[in-house]
């Protein structure tokens, strides 16, 4: 399996659309096209192996099931994961002769995708830094009262940043990387320590994705209880995700009603008795 | 010099403003100004409709040059609120620069907190979790399901937030950061926690290949079976808690944690704790 220039260019356009400050807007771009599951669909169609594309996308999606970017700090770049990592993983799976939907193929995809995704954060900072040039032009336009220039600054010029930091890296890395991946097979035998480690890392990496998400919702050890209840439902009782969500709603309802009842009780009390502490808790949010 | 008719923003302009935000809130992102330019482009149609003369337009636009960043999906509500405040300012409703910017700055943080846990932390993983199940085995069905469901919820959810913000104006602030906002956040956190637990148990598997065999080669201790007998998925859960504690308690960055896992994997492979069982 190789990646032609035309295929690489299509992937490059999708990379420009899907990155964190992407040209398709964050709802359609980052949160749709940037998700590895959707990236797997696109890459599968472009490279002509839909089944393998989806399988690689599913595997990588697990690592990044909750890619939160609090305050614009990124730990992985979705354009690199979805449009450089997935195509290269597909080539690697193909050249290693693994079955598309096997667990080994999934682990290989995870390692490959995460490696590329982490290195790809360079692309994120590159794009964001280059956008400063357009923003500088924007500030001058605002000073002059030439407000319509803002549309070009917000929607037009950043394409140039993406040409340099999304399109070109994707085209070059997928086109030439595919050959490198083919060579990897002879260099690293499957039963050697490096490959075993790579696959094991692939199995461990989703734990980081889950942990990033947990960091958002767990402040104290007690907050782990909902997580373990959900875990138990799925692991021991074999409930599927929709069922787990439905069960969780009843706990959410109880929690909400309880909190509202408590705050309703507090209302008649003198204003000094703790109204202040309620708002204090809210202040320490990340932006 | 009092205006006889009250100025109102037309529905068409509000729609335009919303779509500018929906599309452009992050397109010109930089670490320094983040969503500021997206904000400027979504306020521009409103400012142009409310003020006829250039000087007033310039004065109004200056307000929105202040730094802005929040969770953009739920953050639509803040844009809606400021649209309503700008309308009040145009009608001389006792609103000035500092009112608008004070409110924007005060809402950015809490909305980012709610938005990250509600949208990115719960809604997206749930839809993705369902979609992953549908795509198991390489079917495109799950990916298509995700594209449709997320975009419909994302678009109409943001639209709802924007127009709700416009309708409520500064009254929305009390709801968002008050006791009710806090109760909603906690309830969402409960759903989020349980769903993430379900996602982890369904999709993440950490297994050990460690076993002890007797002289005839028969295994008398298979560690993985013993661990699962204690609590199914114990090893997976343990690794997740380990990663969490490294990040949350020791303040180690996710990238560093990944590097630590590489070392753990290598050590585990060397001692025979991990073996992916690869063959050609």
What ipTM was predicted for this assembly? 0.79
> pLDDT-derived band of residue A40, with 50, 70 and 90 as boundaries?
very high
Which among A176, A192, A217 is the end of a domain? A217
> pLDDT higher for A188 or A270?
A188
Question: Three-state SS for A97?
Answer: coil
* CA-angle at B128, arms to B126 and B134, nearest 5°: 110
Closest-approach residue (CA) in chain A for B131: A37
Q: Minimum mean pLDDT among A87-91, A184-188, B12-16, B88-92: which range?
A: A184-188
Maximum average pLDDT range among A41-55, A252-266, B130-144: A41-55
Check residue B4 and give its pLDDT.
Answer: 56
Mean pLDDT highest for which of A64-73, A159-168, A207-216?
A: A159-168
Measured between CB atoms, does B152 come within 8 Å of chain A?
A: no
Average pLDDT, chain B: 86
Q: Which residue of B has its CA nearest to A16?
A: B27
Q: At what angle do helices B11-24 and B72-90 cross, to 10 degrees?
A: 140
DSSP for residue B220:
E
Instruction: Say yes or no to pLDDT of B144 above 90.
Output: yes
State residue B156's pLDDT score.
95
**Cβ contact A234–B129 (<8 Å):** no
Judge contact between B61 and B23, C-beta under 8 A: no
Co-location of A145 and A244 in the same domain: no
Do A208 and A225 reside in the same domain of the chain? no
- Whether chain B has a CB inside 8 Å of the CB on A95: the answer is no
Residue A239 belongs to what domain range? 221-268
In a mutational test of the A interface, the residue from B67, B146, B194 whose CB has the highest number of chain A CBs within 10 Å is B194
Are A249 and A138 in the same domain? no
Whether A278 maps to a domain, the answer reads no
B 37-76 → A contacts, CB under 8 A? 37-38, 40-41, 44, 47-48, 54, 57-58, 61-62, 65, 69-70, 72-73
pLDDT greater than 70 at residue B153 = yes
- Mean per-residue pLDDT, B71-92: 90
Are residues A226 and A211 located together in one domain of the fold? Answer: no
Mean pLDDT over A163-174 rounds to 93
Task: Tell me which of A183, A217, A251 is where a domain ends.
Answer: A217
**Do the Cβ atoms of B108 and A282 come within 8 Å?**
no
- Would residue A78 count as lying in a domain? yes
Looking at per-residue pLDDT, the higher value among B234 and A204 belongs to B234
Cross-chain Cβ contact B187/A213 below 8 Å: no
- With CB atoms and an 8 Å threshold, state whether B25 touches A25: yes
Confidence of residue A233 (pLDDT cuts 50, 70, 90): very high
- Model pLDDT, residue A71: 52
CB contact under 8 A, A72 and B34: yes
**Domain co-membership, A123 together with A242:** no
Whether the per-residue pLDDT at B138 is higher than 50: the answer is yes
Confidence at residue B176, expressed as pLDDT on a 0 to 100 scale: 75
Together in a domain, A83 and A169:
yes
pLDDT of residue B3 exceeding 60: no
Q: How far is A9 from chain B (nearest CA, A)?
A: 21
| B149 and A CB contact within 8 Å | no
- Tell whether A273 is within 8 A of chain B (Cβ): no
Predicted pLDDT of residue B1: 47
Contacts of A38 in chain B (CB under 8 A): 143, 146-147
Question: Do residues A243 and A180 both lie within one domain?
Answer: no
Residue B274, φ and ψ in degrees, nearest 5: -110, 135
For a pLDDT cut of 70, what percent of chain A falls above it?
A: 87
Do residue A33 and residue A61 come from a single domain? yes
Structural domain count of chain A: 2
Residues A174-229 pLDDT 10s? 999 888 777 766 676 667 787 778 778 877 877 887 887 788 777 788 889 999 99
Closest Cα of chain B to A212: distance in Å? 7
Residue A248 CA to residue B192 CA, distance in Å, equals 8
How far away is chain B from the Cα of A261, in angstroms, using its nearest Cα? 10
Does B105 lie at the interface with A, CB-CB under 8 angstroms?
no
Q: Where a domain ends, among A196, A217, A238?
A: A217
pLDDT the model gives residue A94: 86
Q: Is the pLDDT of residue A117 over 80?
A: no
- Label residue A283 by pLDDT band (50, 70, 90): very low
Which residue of chain A comes nearest to B189, CA vs CA? A217
Pair (A49, A78) in one structural domain: yes
Strand, helix or coil for residue B34: strand
Q: Is A261 part of the contact surface with chain B (CB cutoff 8 Å)?
A: no
Residue of A nearest to B267 (CA): A197
A271 pLDDT more than 60 = no
Considering the domain architecture, whether residues A188 and A55 belong to the same structural domain is answered as yes
CB contact under 8 A, A125 and B129: no
pLDDT single digits (tens) B24-78: 888 888 878 888 999 999 999 999 999 888 888 888 888 898 888 888 899 999 9
Cα–Cα distance for residue pair A157/A180, rounded to 1 Å: 34
Q: Does B25 reach chain A within 8 Å, measured CB to CB?
A: yes
The predicted pLDDT at position B278 comes to 61
Query: What is the band of A170 on the pLDDT scale with cuts at 50, 70, 90?
Result: very high
Residue A71 domain flag: yes
Q: What is the dihedral of CA A23, A24, A30, A34, to 10 degrees?
A: -100
Please check whether residues A226 and A165 belong to one and the same domain. no
Nearest-CA distance from B28 to chain A in Å? Answer: 5
- Separation CA B253–CA B263 (nearest Å): 16
Report the SS3 class of residue A213: helix
Residue A152 and residue A228 share a domain: no
Give CA–CA dist B121/B193, Å, rounded.
Answer: 9
Of A135 and B113, more confident: A135
């Amino acid at each position: 399996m190789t990646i032609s220039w035309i295929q690489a260019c299509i992937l490059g356009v999708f990379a420009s659309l899907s990155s964190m400050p992407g040209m398709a807007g964050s709802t359609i771009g980052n949160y749709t096209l940037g998700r590895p599951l959707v990236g797997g669909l696109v890459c599968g169609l472009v490279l002509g192996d839909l089944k393998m594309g989806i399988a690689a996308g599913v595997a990588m999606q697990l690592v990044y099931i909750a890619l939160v970017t609090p305050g614009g700090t990124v730990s992985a770049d979705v354009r690199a994961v979805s449009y450089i990592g997935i195509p290269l993983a597909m080539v690697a799976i193909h050249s290693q002769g693994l079955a598309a939907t096997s667990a080994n193929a999934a682990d290989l995809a995870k390692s490959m995708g995460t490696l590329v995704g982490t290195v790809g954060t360079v692309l994120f900072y590159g794009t964001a830094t280059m956008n400063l040039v357009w923003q500088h032009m924007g500030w001058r336009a605002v000073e002059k009262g030439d407000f319509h220039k803002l549309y070009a600054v917000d929607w037009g010029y950043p394409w140039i940043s993406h040409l340099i930091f999304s399109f070109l890296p994707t085209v070059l890395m997928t086109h030439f990387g595919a050959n490198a991946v083919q060579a990897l097979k002879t260099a690293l035998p499957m039963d050697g320590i490096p490959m075993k480690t790579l696959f094991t890392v692939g199995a461990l990496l989703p734990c980081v994705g889950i942990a990033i998400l947990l960091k958002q919702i767990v402040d104290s050890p007690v907050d782990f209880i909902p997580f373990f209840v959900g875990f138990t439902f799925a692991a021991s009782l074999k409930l599927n995700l929709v069922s787990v969500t439905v069960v969780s709603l009843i706990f959410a309802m109880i929690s909400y009603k309880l909190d509202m009842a408590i705050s309703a009780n507090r209302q008649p009390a003198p204003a000094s008795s703790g109204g202040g502490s309620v708002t204090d808790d809210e202040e320490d949010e990340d932006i | 010099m009092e205006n006889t008719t009250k100025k109102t923003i037309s529905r068409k302009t509000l729609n335009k403003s919303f779509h500018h935000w929906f599309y452009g809130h992050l397109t010109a992102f930089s670490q320094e100004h983040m969503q500021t330019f997206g904000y400027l482009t979504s306020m521009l149609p409103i400012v142009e409709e409310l003020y006829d003369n250039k000087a007033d337009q310039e004065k109004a636009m200056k307000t929105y040059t202040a730094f802005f960043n929040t969770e953009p999906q739920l953050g639509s509500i803040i844009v809606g609120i400021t649209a309503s405040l700008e309308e009040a300012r145009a009608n001389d409703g006792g609103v000035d620069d500092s009112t608008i910017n004070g409110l924007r700055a005060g809402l950015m943080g809490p909305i980012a907190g709610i938005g990250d846990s509600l949208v990115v932390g719960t809604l997206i993983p749930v839809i993705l979790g369902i979609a992953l199940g549908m795509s198991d085995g390489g079917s495109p069905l799950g990916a298509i399901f995700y594209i449709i469901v997320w975009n419909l919820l994302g678009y109409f959810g943001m639209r709802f937030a924007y127009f709700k913000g416009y309708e409520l104006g500064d009254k929305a602030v009390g709801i968002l950061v008050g006791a009710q906002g806090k109760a909603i956040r906690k309830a969402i956190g409960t759903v989020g926690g349980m769903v993430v637990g379900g996602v982890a148990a369904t999709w993440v598997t950490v297994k050990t290949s460690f076993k002890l065999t007797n002289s005839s080669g028969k295994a008398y201790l298979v560690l993985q079976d013993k661990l699962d007998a204690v609590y199914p998925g114990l090893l997976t859960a343990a690794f997740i808690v380990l990663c969490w504690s490294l990040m949350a308690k020791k303040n180690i960055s996710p990238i560093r944690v990944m590097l630590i896992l590489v070392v753990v994997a290598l050590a585990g492979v060397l001692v025979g704790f991990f073996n992916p069982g690869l063959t050609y």
